[in-house]
Amino acid sequence: MTSLAEHYDKLALKRDAYKSKHKYYYSLLYKQYRYFIPDGKKVLEVGCSTGDLLNAVKPSLGLGIDISAETIKIAKHKYPHLIFETAEVGTLKLREQFDFIILSGVLGEVEDIQKLLEQLKPFCHRGTRIIIEYYSYYWQYILKFGEMMWSKIPQKIQNWVTAEDLLNFFELAGYEPIQQERAILLPFNIWGISYLINRFIAKLPIINTLTLNHFFVVRPIITTKEELSVSILVPCRNEKGNIESAVTRTPVFGKHQEFMFVEGHSKDGTYEEVERIIKKYPNKDIKLFRQPGKGKGDAVRFGFNKSSGDVLMILDADLTVAPEELPKFYDVMRDNRAEFVNGCRLVYPMESEAMRFLNLCANKFFGLFFSWLLGQRFRDTLCGTKVISKKNYEELAANRAYFGDFDPFGDFDLIFGAAKMNLKIMELPIRYRSRAYGTTQIQRFRHGLLLFKMCFFAMRKIKFR
């Protein structure tokens, strides 16, 4: 590492000059990181150079480390509000844990990638995300030519890793990938053309394998068995005949359960039925609210804000997803196998008339579309049973302005928010049953048009941002 440190010490005073030649490229790179990392997080950057990237993500606590003492001197002078140290990860002596750890272009120059990833573990909590950025193998000769022409910072890259290589390293070191993204096909600015290529064309399948910068977002595998409290939200409108079953059929799990009934101005006496159930089962923690607005999305947001459990669950009052399935969702959350659990109705055979043919086709289409859009696998985006921790939901709600109040269903608000937060998402197959009481409140064509509208909205905010 001494020769590498000396190499970057010699280049320290030239770094800003190199970067000034490529302001367009670095603006795109920093924008990508700001999408991954919200303002005000605790961030560690390994190989921080002169600190520009660390400053760009606006951390509440920012620590940058680098093996080059000369670049660290420059970083300290440029950004006195951040902390910089000349160090390697293995020699770093602090007990701080970070929300995000950045490895920007570092893996290509380290001697032992697995060892580096393992050394990061003490600085991770169960919600930590590590963002790994590396150059595409296809660009190695272009980049070497750029160095020869003195238009790129000379690097001593020795590891041209592929995505498959990194997936293997993650497994060996005890991490799991959350999402993978590729960006920047044209790293210099040609007015209008670069915008079109980098924002749209570079995001298309196959073409995006040719991009310069490839990213992985990973999380440490930290398993726990701590029992958690649970809030079970039941949005209900004209579901009087299902209320008692929602309570009595739900198994006891978690250290405490609360049922949150949010009633949506029913005409069949649903509100009064919940009042009756509260009196009939005084040993159950059951709360009842009249929905202030309209639509399931409004009911979900209102109910989750009122909930107090560590884990928040949605149980649709039509009971087409059986309450008996809920412990499976709880187990996944308790064991930290996922941070957002989405029910999937498209694995097991369905009961007769549980889902109409057109609805089934729509569900399959939207599953494929959102798998591409979000970079995480989805088969069934429209299953009403979704589970998230209270802590993550509060952060999702606090950052809802990025997407806005766009979702009348409540499903996509949670899915998009979870994906934007880089939560570990898992689908849990369940059996989908026919409705025993009442009629469906889904208007297929009107709601279908709304779903297509949300697809285009999400493409603009997530994929083609």
What are the C-alpha distances in Å from 152 to residues 75, 108, 250? Answer: 20, 16, 61
Residues 100, 68, single domain; the answer is yes
Residues 309, 216, single domain; the answer is no
User: What is the DSSP secondary structure assignment for residue 257, as one 8-state letter?
Assistant: E
Residues 216, 233, single domain; the answer is no
Residues 209, 235, single domain; the answer is no
State the CATH number of the domain containing residue 148.
Answer: 3.40.50.150
pLDDT in tens, 87-96: 999 888 888 9
**Percent with pLDDT over 90 in the chain:** 61
Give the confidence band of 2 by pLDDT, cuts at 50, 70, 90.
Answer: low
CA dihedral 258, 262, 267, 268 (to 10 degrees): -10
Spatial contact of 458 and 413, defined as CB atoms under 8 Å apart: no
Residues 248, 116, single domain; the answer is no
With 0.95 as the threshold, say if the pTM is over it. Answer: no
Name the domain boundary from 200, 220, 240: 220
Which segment of 200-204, 412-416, 420-424 scores lowest on mean pLDDT?
A: 412-416
State the CATH number of the domain containing residue 373.
Answer: 3.90.550.10
pLDDT in tens, 350-399: 655 545 556 666 667 776 777 777 777 777 777 889 999 999 999 999 98
Residues 182, 203, single domain; the answer is yes
- pLDDT score for 332: 95
| DSSP string across 56-120 | HT--SEEEEEES-HHHHHHHHHH-TTSEEEE--GGG------EEEEEEES-TTT-S-HHHHHHHT
Residues 236, 278, single domain; the answer is yes
Which domain, by its residues, includes 293?
A: 229-463
Three-class SS of residue 464?
A: coil
pLDDT in tens, 265-280: 999 999 999 999 999 9
Angle between helices 357-374 and 411-420 (to 10 degrees): 20
Residues 275, 164, single domain; the answer is no
The total number of residues written for the chain in this structure: 465
Residues 26, 150, single domain; the answer is yes
Name the domain boundary from 185, 220, 255: 220
Q: Where are the alpha helices (DSSP H) in 335-437?
A: 357-374, 390-398, 411-420
Considering just the CA atoms, what is the radius of gyration of the chain in Å?
A: 25
Residues 30, 168, single domain; the answer is yes
Residues 378, 414, single domain; the answer is yes
Strand partners of residue 183: 213
Spatial contact of 43 and 124, defined as CB atoms under 8 Å apart: no
Name the domain boundary from 197, 220, 243: 220
**Overall number of domains in the chain:** 2
Whether the pLDDT of residue 148 is over 60: the answer is yes
Residues 110, 85, single domain; the answer is yes
Q: What does the buried/exposed string (b/e) look like for 321-349 if buried means 16 or more CB atoms within 10 Å of the residue's CB?
A: bbbebbbebbebbbebebbbbbbbbbeee
- pLDDT score for 370: 76
Residue 126's φ and ψ, nearest 5 degrees, are -70, -15
User: Which residues, including other chains, have CB under 8 Å from residue 150's CB and lie 6 or more apart?
Assistant: none
